[in-house]
Amino acid sequence: NSGYDFSGWYWWLKSGAILCERQGERMVAKKLQGRYWMYWGVGSIHLATSTDLLNWQPVLDEQGKVRDV
């Protein structure tokens, strides 16, 4: 847990793009540096990481705010 406070956010964005690789005819989520990575956002693009594809933590900047890519 990053300790990031999501209490003030209204999550209307329902999807993101998860880093994948092609295995035969299928696209399969791929770990990079031991984590899954997701691009998300509207207007600005952000990153989040997960160890289990269910629980995501945003990549934060030095001030603890969501980092723009």
Please report, in angstroms and rounded to a whole number, the separation of the first and last CA atoms in the chain: 21
Summarize pLDDT for 45-67 with one digit per residue, the tens. Answer: 999 999 999 889 999 999 999 99
> Longest C-alpha distance within the chain, in Å?
42
Most confident of 13-17, 20-24, 43-47, 54-58: 20-24
- Cβ-in-10-Å burial (0-12, 13-18, 19+) of 47 comes to buried
Neighbour tally for 63: CB within 10 Å: 6
- Is the separation of the CB atoms in 56 and 11 below 8 Å? no
26 falls in which pLDDT band (50, 70, 90)? very high
Closest CA to 35 of 16, 49, 21: 49
Predicted TM-score (pTM) of the model is 0.74
